[in-house]
Amino acid sequence: MNKTLKTASSDNEHEGASELAPLFKPPREKFLSLRGTVNSTQSIFLGFIGVISLFAFWEISHHLTPEHQQKFLPSVTQVTSKLYYLFTEKGYIVDVAKSVYRIYLSFFVACLVAIPLGVLMGSFIKMRALFNPTVGGLRYLPAASFVPLLLVYLGPTDSAKMALLFLGCVFFLVALILDNIEAVPRALIESAQTMGASRFHIVFRVTFRSAAPQILDSMRNMIAVSWTYLVIAEIVAATDGIGAVMMRGARFLHVDVIMGGILTIGVLGVLTDVSFRIAAHFLFPHTRARR
Amino acid sequence: MSLLKKNYHSDRQKALKAGQKEGKFPLAVNRVRKEYLNGERIAVDDMSLNIREHEVTAMIGPSGCGKTTILRLMAGLEFPTRGNVESFGLPIDGPAPERGLVFQAYTSFPWLTVIENVQHGVAIQGYSKVEQRERAEHYLELVHLTDFANAYPDELSGGMKQRVAIARALAQDPNILLLDEPFGALDAQVTWEMEEMVVEICEDTDKTIVLVTHDIQEAIYLADRIIFFTRQPGRIKEDISMEFKKGRRFKKKEDLLTEPGYVEMEKHLYTLMREEIQGPLS
Ligand SMILES: Nc1ncnc2c1ncn2[C@@H]1O[C@H](COP(=O)(O)OP(=O)(O)O)[C@@H](O)[C@H]1O
Ligand SMILES: [Mg+2]
């Protein structure tokens, strides 16, 4: 038996490294191969095509519109030049800054409430029993239904607008964070217990830490919802902010201003999303390998 | 409050030491019954069992016979419906670092590197930073993971993850190491390596170990004593001493195979297992 093994290996040596078996070329991956692969160049390229097509669709629609109605569907260039005009002549940047400030501050306060509450409810079943029926129910109230109430309480102030943005996301945020905390494997908590970790240690250093990447993801998704409430919030006695500019545009049938506002919100939303992703990349290096 | 807790811990440690000196058992299961689903399911019934110090005790039996249940009772993660579990004469009142547990599921903290994981367990015990590092390094060496100290658990194979878990449990310096099918999810060759590593650890640390397994060969190879469980409700079917090994530990698993008495032992355990698998469910 030993002999046959030897001859087999020496046969291989005779063939030499240069005469390898011919390579079988696997078929090229189809464009729509199931769960296929995509490299970063391709995905940037494809994403770019998506954006271009949207603008192309918009531009073509503009040109297909009868001339006397074209002002209701301005072209891409008309909107962008209007935006340029707003920024340079009308101090639009102040409105944008105001909106960003409102979103971020209200969202920050929502997180200050939702994260501790969600962690508390997810860690202690009795806390969950105490809060969940209330928080769960409040989720079903449309935030817009608070507008009249907020106007009575706070008047046409900044606080009223931020309160609306806060109410629009806080209950959902609690529910999402509760889910994130509850998804932490029981074995992780139990193994910390067998190490002698205190409850305090487990809640903050194990459960919260373990759910942190998912919590940041929930925040990323909820701040998107905040952006969607922005215009509703700023309609309330519109004075400043992107929403107010858009409402003023509506009053004078300046569709280009309205569409410019939509475009601004879209761009800011994407920037917010990207900054959350970048934060996750640096805060949670252990999740990089899996992505 | 933390002061009170410290006192409680040091008092308990003293009592445990005293119990150990008096020759009390590291773990004593006294007429324990454990019910689930409000008594609808009896996982373990009327079980009495003393675990002896410095011995490796394997608990084996068909799936669902209550092996994990009894281990969780020993760890203090659950409490018996009837009867009690004691450690060195003290009732077990909850999980504690003196009883380290390795789960079948991977329980390394994914946000910490391998060495940080081991250090984390040590840190809870209140060691200084330098000691933490030293202990972590020592136990990583024991499980042959020094080269992967700075990797994240998600970058490791299943076997390596379990080695992290074992190192972490050892580093908290337990009296008793509880292992719940720690190699259940690993392939045969990795399991084999891990078993031989456990033998090394036994030699180096002389720990009291309770090992839950469903693998007959593994039980014979690692244990000084095998407790065979009946199926539902779990009771002790047989308490078998591995006398044929004459107290020796085998560095290589294959050396055991030619040992007189090994084949008979394996056959005996297979017979017991067949009886349990084919027997009626009560
Ligand atoms: N938390 C639980 N709730 C309900 N039944 C359980 C629970 N834990 C275990 N059991 C039941 O108790 C029995 C013993 O389970 P277990 O100790 O996990 O068995 P083993 O580890 O030997 O496979 C099984 O029938 C199982 O379904
Ligand atoms: Mg089990």
Q: Would the CB atoms of B107 and A290 count as touching at under 8 Å?
A: no
Two tokens, residue B104 = 């079948």
Which of ligand 1's atoms lies nearest the C-alpha of B181? 21
> Tens of pLDDT along B224-249?
999 999 887 888 898 999 988 888 88
Provide the mean pLDDT of chain B: 89
Query: Which ligand approaches the C-alpha of residue B229 most closely?
Result: 1
Q: What is the pTM of this model?
A: 0.86
> Tens of pLDDT along B157-193?
999 999 999 999 999 889 999 999 999 888 899 899 8
CA A184 to chain B, closest CA, distance in angstroms equals 11
Q: Which residues 25-44 in chain B show a CB within 8 A of chain A? A: none
Q: Can you state the angle between helices A92-123 and A125-138, rounded to 10 degrees?
A: 140
How many residue pairs bridge chain A and chain B with CB atoms within 8 Å of each other?
67
Q: Ligand 1 site: residues with CB under 6 angstroms? A: B 36-37, 41, 43, 63-69, 232
CA distance B242 to B240: 6
Q: 1.10.3720.10, 3.40.50.150, 3.30.70.330, 3.40.50.2300: which CATH number matches A90-290? A: 1.10.3720.10
CA B246 to chain A, closest CA, distance in angstroms equals 33
Q: Would the CB atoms of B154 and A206 count as touching at under 8 Å?
A: no
pLDDT at position A109, please?
97
Partners of residue B125 in chain A, C-beta under 8 Å: 195-196
pLDDT at position B1, please?
38
Residue B150: closest C-alpha in chain A: A286
A12, A6 contact by CB (below 8 A): no
pLDDT in tens, chain A (291 residues): 444 444 444 455 555 556 788 888 888 888 888 888 888 899 999 999 999 999 999 999 999 999 888 888 999 999 999 999 999 999 999 999 999 999 999 999 999 999 999 999 999 999 999 999 999 888 888 888 888 888 899 888 888 999 999 999 999 999 999 999 999 999 999 999 999 899 999 999 999 999 999 999 999 999 999 988 888 888 776 688 999 999 999 899 899 999 999 999 999 999 999 999 999 999 998 887 654
Residue of B108, B121, B74 whose CA lies nearest to B93: B74
pLDDT at position B123, please?
87
B128, B135 contact by CB (below 8 A): no
DSSP letters, chain B, are -HHHHHHHHHHHHHHHHHHHHTT--SEEEEEEEEEETTTTEEEEEEEEEEEPTT-EEEEE-STTSSHHHHHHHHHTSS--SEEEEEETTEEP-S--TTEEEE-SS----TTS-HHHHHHHHHHHTT--HHHHHHHHHHHHHHTT-GGGTTS-GGGS-HHHHHHHHHHHHHHT--SEEEEESTTTTS-HHHHHHHHHHHHHHHHHH--EEEEEES-HHHHHHH-SEEEEEPSSSB-EEEEEE-GGGTT---SSHHHHHTSTTHHHHHHHHHHHHHHHHHSPP-
> Tens of pLDDT along B64-77?
889 999 999 999 99
B164 touches chain A (CB under 8 A): no
Nearest by CB to B111, which of A185, A193, A284? A284
* Band (B222; pLDDT cuts 50, 70, 90): very high
Which of ligand 1's atoms lies nearest the C-alpha of B63? 23
Distance (Å) from CA B207 to ligand 2 centroid: 22
pLDDT at position A9, please?
47
Distance (Å) from CA B281 to ligand 1 centroid: 15
Partners of residue B5 in chain A, C-beta under 8 Å: 198
